[in-house]
Structure 1
């Protein structure tokens, strides 16, 4: 057991910090769409210029430069539009900076892995957790060349990091590269151009508490009327007082509409984003706001009454209910989903599986126990080598989306979520629980056993199951227990701890004169038997 890593403690996952809901802008006229396109194109060009200025400043950017950028944009739009643009620019630059650091860590891990494997003899087998050498000389030669490629990339990215230089594309780099491969992308030049322009539009405004309906730039009334504060160059397109434009449509938020209506009526901050879906040819508005920090339930309260251990897999969720002592109850449950097809289809599959799981847990008043998974370091091709199928499997598992959606949906239903360390759950679950839970009518899988292991770890119990006593009587004539204490285990020959409660014997356990003297318990040759 010396080679096992230290396990992290279980904790209750905090609820979501924000909410985002979406509704369609139905009934727009041709004039409305023209105005929205002109406003989005104008603000998008201003956002592109501001991003260029921010990237040129690098890590030496200070608050005075931020104020200067906002003043420069105010004259071309408005103070509130300028504030939204500069904030979005700053967030985009910070995201690119974090991604750059993650790329450095990934390249460094690849270089270290290849360097270690090249130093091993060809064909050498790896130890536990440590990879061995490469199989063939041809593979060794190919990896030696790849090592130089990764080292060159790492050197360039490190230079960018030290200089504070990031590489950002407004409109997505993938869409930009598809311009040179239109046939492979299945697009015409006109279709690509419409997508590119729509992605680079800017029509979003941050909320402001205390202002009318929580937002002065993009305003949505409780009745669903949308109005937009036009930038200064487009003020002549206004059809309402104070330079505002009101489209001929009404918005209705079906999901969390009551929460949104309460915030709008109380003039609390609500941020809006208007965007155009090129594939569907529809306009949408997204409303978002921040939730106040909510105190999560204590871990002891989440454990009270038992919980449900959940094992996340590539095509299903394996769940098993456990009582407060860690004993599996009933049969395992399986919630299937398919991660194929379009992104909308995959997302709908995940939501459907999660809502069935949550309704089952809420019906029994139980918390959920999940693994604190993070496959960011597991997706590298250098770690798993030829195991392409396994790499594709873990790369396709939406662990972050599953956890985010699970936590958000569980908070809405009042179900607590406990996260545990994922180390060894599948291995130890199959080792200690798969065979004992197998019966004539029940065939649990390795994933079902892992769900039991996850639940026991969340309850604070050891994953190893308690060994049954010997049959017939207290002697060991039919064989020893399957699990014995090691010879050097402290207290292995000592008395059992005092258990409070009524006893049938006259002397409670632990109170005898020789309770700790195992030699005196029906052992022949004890010194007390030979005393005169």
Structure 2
């Protein structure tokens, strides 16, 4: 057995740095929708052109080129629209670079795994490393795949060093859907409407000190929405200073009071307008930054007790633990269904987290969860033919669940403790799965893993009990934690007397009835093997 890797210390997860709320633009007229499409298409064309220039500059881009790009865009839009365009372009280029680096790491992991498995066919592996391939055919196929991965790795590394990224505004997946319209159940006109909607640009950054926190897309406290038209579309204005006012009135049901306070104080609020083509609706999203929430000290978060949570593909397994790491009460399961659309999956995750957080809030408990990251675990080279396992861990909403949990827990003031996920499932099943089973409760491996996660967050070892030192064991240096099974013969009898100065017992062969106290007929000793009957009281008293 190889050495265990070093475990990370648990830590309190910091709260979110920003919030976003969305509402529907109801009551838009045909003229309003036409103006929004024209403005979005024009700004989207400018965003595509600006992104192309930024990608062409590569690593040689600097502040002077950024200022030049902004001056060119200002002529065809406005200074504020140009600022939002260049900022969005920079964020998209940086995101593409991070994705490129993650792709390099994935290719390197695949190459390392195949090179390691280039062993004699059928050679057995270990728990820490896989063995050789099962057949000569599989070995040959993997050797060809190794050449493909190495070629891809060299190409991506060359792009990384040169600063070349490839970005598709509107999404690569939607672009490839145009070649398979029949399989997607779309016509060319429907696909074109989606493509245009995804490539539109209707988002503006907020500015503190300006009226209502945003001069480009302005929303008044009363819900009136207006936007600054680009210079070529100024003829569409229906309000002074080249602005267009929508007929729709908006209100935010979630965090509406926070939004109203920021707008009234002229604090920065960013807005984004987008169209849902499938539903035929328009939405307005408002976002702003919030000051970081002071993190609760780790000792204070786990002072009383907490809830250990094990994340799975279809449910959250949770168990409450006291301050000493002992399970309290019954385990709970919060299920969710990750089939269907993205909005349905997100709603399922939110509903499960709401039930978990309400349970923690009622009892004033912290939440302990694993700091999971499956980016390196979903490769086909790592798990080989275990396609079901790859699909299982690929379908787990780790990133979304973690982001949702942190933001929702911060609103309720519930601390979230992240722990190292190493060996929690294995050790939880080893030390807690069997002891927690009873005639009235069937404990799963996920419940045992939740207990292991909670104990690690509390700073306790996962195993149930540690044997005392050998010098402190009175059973002749035996393992005191070992207990007899219920069906072991003689488990209820007296312990054998071991000679020695510690027990002050006689050598073997003497005082054969020393263990049977009832046989001595001593005074004040209860005869447990005799029936007990109370004498009747005399009637003359």
* Structure 1 SS opposite 2:284: strand
Query: In the alignment, does 2:315 pair up with 1:316?
Result: yes
* Equivalent-residue separation in structure 2 for 1:351 and 1:314 (angstroms): 15
Query: 1:175 deviation in Å?
Result: 0.7
Query: In the alignment, does 2:200 pair up with 1:201?
Result: yes
* Equivalent-residue separation in structure 2 for 1:4 and 1:326 (angstroms): 23
Query: 1:522 deviation in Å?
Result: 6.0
Alignment of 1:251-290 (within 5 A): 251-290=250-289
Counterpart of 1:113 in structure 2 is 113
Counterpart of 2:146 in structure 1 is 147
* Equivalent-residue separation in structure 2 for 1:478 and 1:98 (angstroms): 58
Counterpart of 2:80 in structure 1 is 80
* Structure 2 SS opposite 1:397: coil
Q: Is the 8 A contact 1:213 1:219 kept in 2?
A: yes
Query: 1:481 deviation in Å?
Result: 2.4
* Equivalent-residue separation in structure 2 for 1:451 and 1:14 (angstroms): 22
Q: Is the 8 A contact 1:215 1:271 kept in 2?
A: yes
Counterpart of 2:236 in structure 1 is 237
* Structure 1 SS opposite 2:186: coil
Counterpart of 2:126 in structure 1 is 127
* Equivalent-residue separation in structure 2 for 1:200 and 1:186 (angstroms): 21
Counterpart of 1:411 in structure 2 is 410
Alignment of 1:168-207 (within 5 A): 168-207=167-206
Query: In the alignment, does 2:451 pair up with 1:452?
Result: yes
* Structure 1 SS opposite 2:344: helix
Counterpart of 1:7 in structure 2 is 7
Counterpart of 2:33 in structure 1 is 33
Query: 1:482 deviation in Å?
Result: 3.9
* Equivalent-residue separation in structure 2 for 1:125 and 1:290 (angstroms): 54
Counterpart of 2:353 in structure 1 is 354
* Equivalent-residue separation in structure 2 for 1:421 and 1:317 (angstroms): 17
Counterpart of 2:536 in structure 1 is none
Counterpart of 1:89 in structure 2 is 89
Alignment of 1:148-163 (within 5 A): 148-163=147-162
Can you list the C-alpha shifts for 1:179-232, whole angstroms capped at 9, x where unaligned? 111111111000010001000000000000011110000010111000100001
Counterpart of 1:397 in structure 2 is 396
Counterpart of 2:245 in structure 1 is 246
Counterpart of 2:429 in structure 1 is 430
Counterpart of 1:501 in structure 2 is none
Counterpart of 2:103 in structure 1 is 103
Query: 1:520 deviation in Å?
Result: 8.4
Counterpart of 1:505 in structure 2 is none
Can you list the C-alpha shifts for 1:1-34, whole angstroms capped at 9, x where unaligned? 8610000000000011110100000000011001
* Equivalent-residue separation in structure 2 for 1:520 and 1:71 (angstroms): 95
Structure number with bigger Rg: 2
* Equivalent-residue separation in structure 2 for 1:343 and 1:302 (angstroms): 34
Q: Is the 8 A contact 2:2 2:128 kept in 1?
A: no
Counterpart of 1:69 in structure 2 is 69
* Equivalent-residue separation in structure 2 for 1:467 and 1:126 (angstroms): 32
Relative to the length of structure 2, the TM-score reads 0.88
* Equivalent-residue separation in structure 2 for 1:446 and 1:112 (angstroms): 32
Counterpart of 1:516 in structure 2 is none
* Equivalent-residue separation in structure 1 for 2:126 and 2:251 (angstroms): 60
Can you list the C-alpha shifts for 1:385-415, whole angstroms capped at 9, x where unaligned? 0000000000000100000001111111111
Counterpart of 2:290 in structure 1 is 291
* Structure 2 SS opposite 1:174: helix
* Structure 1 SS opposite 2:291: coil
CA gap of 1:363–1:77, structure 2 versus 1, over 3 A, is same
Counterpart of 2:513 in structure 1 is none
Query: 1:376 deviation in Å?
Result: 0.3
* Equivalent-residue separation in structure 1 for 2:80 and 2:384 (angstroms): 52
Q: Is the 8 A contact 1:467 1:483 kept in 2?
A: no
Q: Is the 8 A contact 1:467 1:481 kept in 2?
A: no
Alignment of 1:456-467 (within 5 A): 456-466=455-465
CA gap of 1:2–1:147, structure 2 versus 1, over 3 A, is closer
* Equivalent-residue separation in structure 1 for 2:190 and 2:236 (angstroms): 28
Can you list the C-alpha shifts for 1:272-294, whole angstroms capped at 9, x where unaligned? 00000011000000000111122
Q: Is the 8 A contact 1:367 1:415 kept in 2?
A: yes
Alignment of 1:329-368 (within 5 A): 329-368=328-367
Relative to the length of structure 1, the TM-score reads 0.89
* Equivalent-residue separation in structure 1 for 2:137 and 2:411 (angstroms): 56
* Structure 2 SS opposite 1:247: strand
* Equivalent-residue separation in structure 1 for 2:501 and 2:213 (angstroms): 80
Q: Which aligned runs of 4 or more in structure 1 are off by greater than 2 angstroms?
A: 474-484, 519-524
Q: Is the 8 A contact 2:308 2:450 kept in 1?
A: yes
Query: 1:124 deviation in Å?
Result: 1.1
Query: 1:521 deviation in Å?
Result: 5.4
* Equivalent-residue separation in structure 2 for 1:108 and 1:478 (angstroms): 51
Query: 1:467 deviation in Å?
Result: 5.4
Alignment of 1:473-492 (within 5 A): 476=475, 480-482=479-481
**Unmatched runs of 5 consecutive residues or more in structure 1:** 485-518, 525-532
CA gap of 1:482–1:175, structure 2 versus 1, over 3 A, is same
Alignment of 1:38-49 (within 5 A): 38-49=38-49
Counterpart of 1:214 in structure 2 is 213
* Equivalent-residue separation in structure 2 for 1:483 and 1:153 (angstroms): 56
